[in-house]
Amino acid sequence: MRFLVLIAILALKGYSADFTTYIGDANQYQVAAIATDSAGNSYVTGSRTIESAPASSSDDVFVTKLDASGDIVFTSTFGGKGSDVADAIAADSAGNIWVGGNTTSENFPLRDALQTGIGSGGAGFLVKLAPDGTVIYSSYFGGLMGATSVNGLATDPGGNVYLTGGTSSSDFPTTPGLPAGMVHDELGIVSGAFITKLDPTGLKIVYSALIAGTAIDCSGGSTCDFTARTTSGVGIALDEAGDALIAGNTNTTDLPVTPGGVAGYEAFVAKINAAGNKLTYLTYLGPGAGIGYLGQPPQTINATAIAADSAGDAYVTGYTNDSEFPATAGAYQTKLDADASTQTSVPPDAFAIKLNTAGATIWATYLGGPGTDLANSISLDSSGDVWLTGNNAAGFPGTSRWVNGSAGNFLSQFSADGSALLYSEEFPAGAVGQGVSVDSNGVIHVAGETGLISTMTPAQPSAARTLGIVNAASGQLSGRLSQGEVISIFGFGLGPTTPVSAKPGSNGFFPTSLGGIQVLVNGAAVPLLYVSASQINAEIPTPLSVPDAVVQIINNSAMLPDFRVSVDASIFGLFLNPDGSVAAINQDGTVNASTNPAKPGTIVTIWATGFGNLAGPIDGAVATVANNWCGDCQVSLNGESATMEYAGAAPGQIDGIMQINFLVPTQLADNEVFLQFSLGGGGFIWVSQ
């Protein structure tokens, strides 16, 4: 079988990647949010999974600041013995950084705290860092009689901080003139969305509101018994007047909608005046049926983020599969891409909606194709154009450069009136989909969920740039690699416009120079399999020192910017097809597929890479003989152990490829079965009697 590597085309045009860098280390990073400031710095937060920690204490919070050149100014981490998850970040005018989230740690590190005790079920937290990363304030937040999570943050020119999120704590503080919904953390939990303003010290509540509902839709065969009533804020933004706007979600139908607002279900927007004594408006975003009626699939409108302009208009994004979402005439996409009347499960489209200062819809549009498209973040530029980022499937509007319809991330720009999609580009999964923030100079700052951070300047020529690295068999784009791994490097301007594939030389080794391209890892050239403008496939030899390395690409003597990576002992992955099934060959030499399943009792062959130094030295040579070096390896199919015939070198392939042969159990049911390999990785194959 020929060596299979997914080839993705990502030749991005018209937008320059000023930098792309990886902020992680030996631990796994999960980015939650990104913010920026007038100096062009990027601020990133999320959770860091500590590989050596016990399961009960696996997550710490990280905060990373990068300067306008992409150099890491600092990374600060903090947490306790429980789970500590950051969800929101904001920088104030003095360069201080506020971070919010939730924690179950009874020993969360506190400093000059507003609240020193943790709530039952966990608490929200709020941390303030100085411009150099020093923690100057840290507190639990939300009360002691239930669980709380801080999901969104914003700051004003005076250094005050504004919070939103969700709480079930019955002692959550509220102030006069604002909603004070009743919540509790008992059987049949009721939670609410909060909007709170704190002074710059974090020690004084300026105002605080709690929005909660109790009525839910019990029609269509649904039951209300023991159903939690949940309402939560997901994002917060400020206008120039100091009014606070939040976006949130609820499964209740009786939130305190203000006159002129829309009654409905699920996503809503609320506004508090600058004085903090009035709910200016609250409106649902659409009617939101919620329950599937007369055999129709359930419908949802889910908000994920909010932005505000200086005039006080609100811009909200999220995703919906509701054909009654209030898309407006003249908007870019006025109809849901999928036909809800013909499907039992309707994939959602992303959406963007603009509300005026009274909460009325100015414009609203869908954004999506036939698959699942989810917007995660929103930001505005100085022209009032709207930038979204998120996750997309095949058929997403704009420039789609994936082969075979692979899913990825998107970055899209709407015109200020919502009528035109000015720019829309697909990126590899993990590159940009977690967050977007536009700075005052118009530079777009984007974050991928596993720690890739990039800036892009609109209307500038594309600059050659490494965008990230992925295990060539399977895995998410990141800045990680391992010794003995076959990798794909994605980016633009990496190599020749006409792709070049390598063949082993007469000595049996793959070349370290191909089509005028070299890839150096810590200064040493590595074997190459394929080079193009947007993708390079290479092998990482053993040994490779840990925990960090620098990847450099030389394109016809021109050195591209360095790309910092973390080095793992192994990053194991099975080779997969674009649909997530395992790339497999049946015993008769044909490709395993739904239309060509394997027979029970026959041998199936699969391949993998990223096994570190388990197989001994890896140096880019073609494996010439069998070497069953993984005699203890196991394959299971739907939980049934398969008889292993072979697990080792793949004769005829580069030495970073592992071949696995196994016997399909005779008792397996027909059709799709799930395959799991003991070293890691899994997917579906097809078996039929």
Residues 6+ apart with CB under 8 A from 13: 399, 462
Whether the bond between 597 and the residue before it is cis, its omega within 30 degrees of 0, is no
Query: Which token pair is 344?
Result: 């039992």
pLDDT at position 249 over 80: yes
Query: Which token pair is 188?
Result: 């049949």
Q: What pLDDT does residue 3 have?
A: 31
Q: Which domains does the chain have, with CATH numbers?
A: 471-568 (2.60.40.10), 573-687 (2.60.40)
Give the confidence band of 340 by pLDDT, cuts at 50, 70, 90. Answer: low
Residues 6+ apart with CB under 8 A from 260: 281, 283, 358, 359, 360
Q: What is the pLDDT of residues 144-198, one digit of tens each?
A: 999 999 999 999 999 999 999 999 999 999 999 999 999 988 777 999 999 999 9
Say how far apart CA 132 and CA 134 lie, in whole Å: 6
The percent of residues above 90 in pLDDT, for the chain, comes to: 78
Say how far apart CA 478 and CA 569 lie, in whole Å: 16
Q: Which of 484, 565, 478 minimizes the C-alpha distance to 521? A: 565
Q: Which of 432-436, 479-483, 585-589 has the lowest mean pLDDT?
A: 479-483
Mean pLDDT over residues 545-559, rounded? Answer: 90
Q: What pLDDT does residue 151 have?
A: 98
pLDDT at position 403 over 80: no
Q: What is the pLDDT of residues 50-103, one digit of tens each?
A: 765 555 556 899 999 999 999 999 999 999 999 999 999 999 999 999 999 999
Say how far apart CA 513 and CA 674 lie, in whole Å: 39
The alpha-helical segments, DSSP class H, found in 543-620 are none
The DSSP symbol for 451 reads S
More confident residue, 366 or 16: 366
Q: What pLDDT does residue 51 have?
A: 62
Place of tokens 């996409």: 333
Assess contact for 680 and 578: CB atoms under 8 A. no
More confident residue, 299 or 528: 528
Question: What sign results for the dihedral spanned by CA atoms 115, 117, 122, 126?
Answer: positive
Query: Which token pair is 666?
Result: 């005779």
Could you give phi then psi for residue 487, rounded to 5 degrees? -120, 160
More confident residue, 460 or 86: 86
Say how far apart CA 12 and CA 22 lie, in whole Å: 20
Length of the chain: 689
Mean pLDDT over residues 277-292, rounded? Answer: 81
pLDDT averaged over every residue in the chain:
90
Q: What pLDDT does residue 289 have?
A: 53
Give the confidence band of 463 by pLDDT, cuts at 50, 70, 90. Answer: confident
Q: Which of 331, 388, 361, 198 minimizes the C-alpha distance to 267? A: 361
Say how far apart CA 363 and CA 418 lie, in whole Å: 6
Q: Which of 38, 78, 18, 144 minimizes the C-alpha distance to 460? A: 18
Q: What pLDDT does residue 219 have?
A: 62
Place of tokens 């603009």: 354
Say how far apart CA 197 and CA 126 lie, in whole Å: 12
Q: What is the pLDDT of residues 40-54, one digit of tens each?
A: 999 999 999 876 555
Q: What is the pLDDT of residues 206-232, one digit of tens each?
A: 999 999 999 987 765 556 667 889 999
Q: What is the DSSP string of 86-103?
A: EEEEEE-TTS-EEEEEEE
pLDDT at position 7 over 70: no
Most confident segment among 5-14, 398-407, 454-463, 528-537? 528-537
Give the confidence band of 6 by pLDDT, cuts at 50, 70, 90. Answer: very low
Give the confidence band of 689 by pLDDT, cuts at 50, 70, 90. Answer: confident
Say how far apart CA 212 and CA 492 lie, in whole Å: 48
Q: Give the amino acid at 60.
A: D
Which residues are registered as beta bridge partners of 366?
351
Place of tokens 């005026």: 356
pLDDT at position 290 over 60: no
Say how far apart CA 99 and CA 129 lie, in whole Å: 8
